[in-house]
Structure 1
Amino acid sequence: MSSTEDRRFEVLRAIVADYVSTKEPVGSKVLVERHNLGVSSATVRNDMAVLEAEGYITQPHTSSGRVPTDKGYRQFVDRISEVKPLSPAERRAILEFLESGVDLDDVLRRGVRLLAQLTRQVAVVQYPTLTSSSVRHLEIVALNPARLLLVLITDSGRVDQRIVELGDVINDAQLSQLRTLIGAALEGKRLAAASTAVAELADNAPPDIRNVVVRAATVLVESLVEHHEERLVLGGTANLTRNAADFAGTNGFPGSLRAVLEALEEQVVVLKLLAAAQHPGTVTVRIGEETQVEQMRGTSVVSTGYGTAGTIFGGMGVLGPTRMDYPGTIASVAAVARYIGEVLAER
């Protein structure tokens, strides 16, 4: 890239930084005063004219300064060379806060609350999807000789409890045999494979417990193949009101805070955005029209996947106005996702 293009990018970077900080359109005089660009005001004005002609910045009002467009933010994000790192104290505090969660629900709630505080945006996390989960353990508890409690625990921290009515009684030896048989068929398998293995158990079950195996397998298959409604946990929605003016309209497109809130209520919209960004260790940034959602033209979504090595449980990220601190937001999303994955992997 030529030195002229590099210089113009530095001008764009300065405009983005000032506009994110002040919410005010940025003029050439202010840029020269605040930033060590190493060129004259006339050169900065010429660079701004080129950036405007190429669609990276725009003039919201006559005689005002310039503000970045979605294209300008995209250029800025694509050329972020250094993401603001979190300090060791910040990372330690995040991990300790998440480790204090008592179960999956608590860990996810803590995660969105923490992410909303760190970024001052709306934070969202998707509950682990069943299709990506494996069976960690199955506990079979005899409530009485004719009734069992099945407790299915997945590697994503989900716990599912089911009651099995046996229609007959079983003794301790038969119960132990049932635990061994079903446990061997299930543990370590993805849920889809586990449901197939359980469904096939009755064919090879010992005659004296075949009826028990059939009843238990029927209940388990319902649990394993059932697709729970995808759920989201949101935090920091009130942060949107601090930046209500940012949603009044962007780049000539109408918009409103109400439209953004309605999009959040339609969780399927956010789920689709998170599902498209579940690549381990990679943070995806969608700016304005890139969200492909009419109500969210004035927003940016910074998201990633969380989980263990090789397994993504779900997506998480933040939503806010296009005028946001991208380096800091990207760092926070990456860190919280990483630590949520670590905490869930240890449970």
Structure 2
Amino acid sequence: MAKASSADQRRGEVLRAIVADFISTQEPVGSKALVDRHALGVSSATVRNDMAVLESEGFITQQHASSGRIPTEKAYRVFVDGIHRIKPLSPPERRAILGFLEGGVDMEDVLRRSVQLLAQLTRQVAVAQLPDLRRGRVKHCEVVQLAPTRLLLVLITDTGQVDQRNVDLTSALSESDLPRLRDVINSTLVGHTLDDASAEVAAMAAGEDPRVPAELQDPALTCATVLVETLLNRSNDRLMIAGTPNIVRVGELEGVLDALEEQVVVLRMLSGVRDLGDHSVRVTIGEENGTAELQSAAVVSTGYGQRDAVLGGMGVLGPTYLDYPGTISSVQAVAHYVSRILAGE
């Protein structure tokens, strides 16, 4: 591969300087300002020539004949691809993030806090996808008797999700049978994903599960069926959002509000990050987002959970002149600590 010429290298520095200045000021950037602010080692005339070349190559554009230049999506992509090292957050910043997230009372509260924190850190819109129940395994099911024929089931998964369901039995359950029923349900469901648990329930319904005494088969089957069917049929594509007022102040991002309201577009993007499975941060800019609602936006997203079991995606949506290094650093840090907390570390 041919080595880049000194002129190409210099134009690369000029382009990075233009992007950095525009991100900082949201004002068109002129050649004199670049020479004054950056140690480019060349004259304003040379910078103007470089800017003319960059404009002809589609990296920058000019709104008016006498105005400075603004970066295009192509320039932002080059800028992001050129970020080789993200400055880590300071120890006090990390302690503050961890302390705030650890205050969550359950998994949903931790994720709710994570989007609030990301919105505050980046001053953009933050989103997080709740885990797909099919990816979690049943950790425990508590059974509480509310009435002789009415039970409350509290299902806890290894992803930290807690879900409650009421169950109406066809006949009264004695107090002495309650702990036996609890043991039967847990022996049937614990350690299984909800998809796998449905097969266990089918075996129970056919009377093929030797762990279920005959006198407990009906209540056990009723309880297990309610748990599996209602939880699997419930939509797992729930989205937590914070910082929408940050989008309102940016006029060109009205389409993002539509996407957030419909949720489908954003959830699809977050699911794509989740499926990468390697906790890398993905940055998509403008048309790279693949949808009209987000064509004027940039999205910085990653997955959270364990490397071999990514539970969901989270990220930040903002204008294409996003503070990319700062946003990537914040998204990485928050996702890292969310993963640690959900893993019980």
TM-score normalised by L of structure 1: 0.90
Aligned residues with identical type, % of pairs: 57
Q: Give the letter for the 1:272 counterpart.
A: R
Aligned to 2:33: 30
Distance 1:264 1:216, change over 3 A: closer
What is the rounded CA distance, in whole Å, between the counterparts of 2:227 and 2:298 in structure 1? 41
What is the rounded CA distance, in whole Å, between the counterparts of 2:169 and 2:148 in structure 1? 9
Once the two structures are TM-superposed, the CA of residue 331 in structure 1 deviates from its matched residue by 0.6
* Structure 2, gaps ≥5 residues long: none
The equivalences for 1:82-161 within 5 A come to 82-161=85-164
Q: Please say if residues 194 and 224 of structure 1, whose CA atoms lie closer than 8 Å, have aligned partners that are also in contact.
A: no
1:271 aligns with 2:274: no
1:227 aligns with 2:234: yes
1:307 aligns with 2:305: yes
What is the rounded CA distance, in whole Å, between the counterparts of 1:218 and 1:263 in structure 2? 35
Aligned to 2:256: 260
Aligned-residue CA RMSD in angstroms?
Answer: 1.9
Name the SS of the counterpart of 1:118 in structure 2. Answer: helix
- C-alpha deviations, 1:36-83, integer Å up to 9, x for none? 112232332222222111111111211211111000000110110121
Name the SS of the counterpart of 1:276 in structure 2. Answer: helix
Aligned to 1:317: 315
Aligned to 2:217: 210
- C-alpha deviations, 1:142-168, integer Å up to 9, x for none? 334433221111222222212222323
What is the rounded CA distance, in whole Å, between the counterparts of 1:227 and 1:312 in structure 2? 20
Aligned to 1:341: 339
What is the rounded CA distance, in whole Å, between the counterparts of 1:345 and 1:307 in structure 2? 7
Between Structure 1 and Structure 2, how many residues are aligned? 336
> After TM superposition, what 4+ stretches of structure 1 lie above 4 angstroms from structure 2?
none
What is the rounded CA distance, in whole Å, between the counterparts of 2:338 and 2:106 in structure 1? 12
Among candidates 6, 10, 16, match of residue 7 of structure 1: 10
- C-alpha deviations, 1:286-319, integer Å up to 9, x for none? 1011111213221111111112342122111111
Once the two structures are TM-superposed, the CA of residue 172 in structure 1 deviates from its matched residue by 4.9
Q: Please say if residues 98 and 340 of structure 1, whose CA atoms lie closer than 8 Å, have aligned partners that are also in contact.
A: yes
Once the two structures are TM-superposed, the CA of residue 124 in structure 1 deviates from its matched residue by 1.0
The equivalences for 1:37-76 within 5 A come to 37-76=40-79
* Structure 1, gaps ≥5 residues long: 248-256
Distance 1:229 1:180, change over 3 A: closer
1:175 aligns with 2:182: no
What is the rounded CA distance, in whole Å, between the counterparts of 1:237 and 1:268 in structure 2? 17
What is the rounded CA distance, in whole Å, between the counterparts of 1:273 and 1:143 in structure 2? 42
Distance 1:309 1:180, change over 3 A: farther
Further displaced range: 3-12 or 283-292 = 3-12
Once the two structures are TM-superposed, the CA of residue 185 in structure 1 deviates from its matched residue by 2.3
Once the two structures are TM-superposed, the CA of residue 178 in structure 1 deviates from its matched residue by 2.6
TM-score normalised by L of structure 2: 0.91
